[in-house]
């Protein structure tokens, strides 16, 4: 993994607003957008979500700065990682049987309690207190059933991505000297246009900072960069955030 290419025809831009044409090309994409950026702005992630909703194929590589997915955009992370809940039919059937049994026990308990109170006032005998023992046993049985009903898991959860993305773990978060920080910035539009440079996929990077970027439609260069992108996405070997574990951190998972 790693690419060297010489002789590509390209446009060069240096200065503020280096991302204006990039954002225009992304907005006007017809088929696909691929992004590598270690830092992200919620507003720009939202633009990718909008493009996805229009049928544009989106692919993203970034780092595990999870807060970059947040903002005043209905928490984009909950759009990018979607929760799916499935019902375990056999567990649900067993739980329903326990609920029915508990209901019967409840009627027996309150019926027996009424009998006990009635007998206590009617006979006013110490022996009436012996009725407390079965009453206590019924109460404990019902309490046990309620606990089993409360703790019985009937739902299983899984998570999927809205569109393809990889979130690699930065060396600072795993404290591993051999790990690699994915710091490159590459933007591929419709597999025909490539941007590279210093600008991140952020509002500051694309609009306000003094940045450098090149733009090329050189087919050989574009095809070479696409190959490198696919290699990074599919065969990097870098540690990455697991979508299932991440989903479990983000979402509640009621068991029933």
Read off the pLDDT of residues 70-104 as tens digits, 9 standing for 90 and up: 454 457 788 889 999 999 999 999 999 999 999 99
Q: Does residue 48 fall inside a structural domain?
A: yes
Same domain, 178 and 237: yes
N- to C-terminal Cα distance for the chain? Answer: 47
pLDDT, tens digit, for every residue of 20-73?
999 999 999 999 999 999 888 888 888 999 999 999 999 999 987 655 454 544
The pTM score is 0.79
Same domain, 76 and 168: yes
Question: Cα–Cα–Cα angle for 86, 53, 218, nearest 5°?
Answer: 125
Q: Does residue 213 fall inside a structural domain?
A: yes
163 near 95, Cβ under 8 Å?
A: no
Q: How far is CA 61 from the centre of its chain?
A: 15
Q: How high is the pLDDT of residue 23?
A: 94
pLDDT, tens digit, for every residue of 150-190?
999 999 999 999 999 998 887 776 666 667 788 889 999 99
Q: Which of 130, 152, 174 finishes a domain?
A: 152
Of the candidates 55, 50, 54, the residue with the CA atom closest to the CA atom of residue 73? 50
Burial class (CB within 10 angstroms; exposed 0-12, middle 13-18, buried 19+) of 49 = middle
Q: How high is the pLDDT of residue 223?
A: 93
Return the CATH number at 35: 3.30.870.10
Same domain, 111 and 209: no
Q: Does residue 18 fall inside a structural domain?
A: yes
Same domain, 146 and 174: no
Q: How high is the pLDDT of residue 73?
A: 47
Same domain, 28 and 120: no
Q: Does residue 255 fall inside a structural domain?
A: no
Same domain, 62 and 170: yes
Same domain, 237 and 196: yes
How far lies 202's CA from each of 8, 39, 97, 206, 249, in Å? Answer: 27, 7, 55, 6, 25
Same domain, 94 and 206: no
Please count the structural domains in the chain: 2
Residues recorded for the chain: 256
pLDDT, tens digit, for every residue of 240-250?
888 899 889 88
Same domain, 67 and 187: yes
Range of the domain at 125: 90-152
Q: Does residue 1 fall inside a structural domain?
A: no
How far lies 43's CA from each of 72, 217, 238, in Å? Answer: 8, 27, 27
Q: Does residue 5 fall inside a structural domain?
A: no
Strands 81-87 and 186-189: unpaired
d(CA 130, CA 96): 33
Same domain, 173 and 75: yes
212 near 18, Cβ under 8 Å?
A: yes
Share of the chain above pLDDT 70, in %: 91
Same domain, 208 and 167: yes
Q: Which of 126, 152, 178 finishes a domain?
A: 152
Same domain, 56 and 118: no
pLDDT top residue among 119 and 163: 163
Q: Which of 128, 152, 176 finishes a domain?
A: 152
């Amino acid at each position: 993994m790693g690419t060297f290419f010489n002789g590509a025809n390209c446009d060069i831009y240096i200065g503020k607003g280096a991302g204006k044409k990039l954002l225009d090309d992304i907005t006007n994409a017809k088929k696909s957008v691929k992004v590598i950026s270690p830092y992200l702005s919620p507003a720009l992630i939202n633009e990718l979500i909008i493009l996805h909703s229009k049928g544009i194929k989106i692919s993203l590589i970034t780092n595990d700065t999870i807060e970059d997915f947040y903002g005043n955009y209905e928490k984009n992370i909950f759009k990018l990682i979607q929760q799916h809940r499935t019902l375990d039919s056999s567990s649900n059937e067993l739980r329903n049987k326990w609920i029915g049994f508990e209901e019967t026990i409840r009627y027996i308990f309150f019926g027996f309690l009424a009998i006990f109170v009635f007998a206590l006032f009617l006979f006013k005998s110490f022996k009436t207190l012996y009725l407390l023992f079965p009453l206590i046993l019924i109460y404990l049985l019902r309490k046990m059933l309620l606990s089993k009903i409360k703790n019985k898991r009937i739902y299983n959860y899984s998570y999927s991505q809205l569109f393809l993305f990889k979130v690699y773990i930065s060396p600072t978060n795993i404290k591993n000297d051999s790990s690699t920080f994915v710091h490159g910035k590459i933007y591929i539009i419709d597999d025909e246009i490539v941007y590279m440079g210093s600008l991140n996929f952020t509002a500051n990077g694309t609009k306000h900072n003094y940045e450098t970027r090149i733009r090329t439609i050189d087919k050989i260069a574009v095809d070479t960069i696409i190959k490198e992108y696919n290699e990074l996405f599919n065969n990097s070997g870098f540690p990455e955030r697991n979508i299932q574990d991440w989903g479990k951190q983000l979402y509640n998972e009621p068991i029933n």
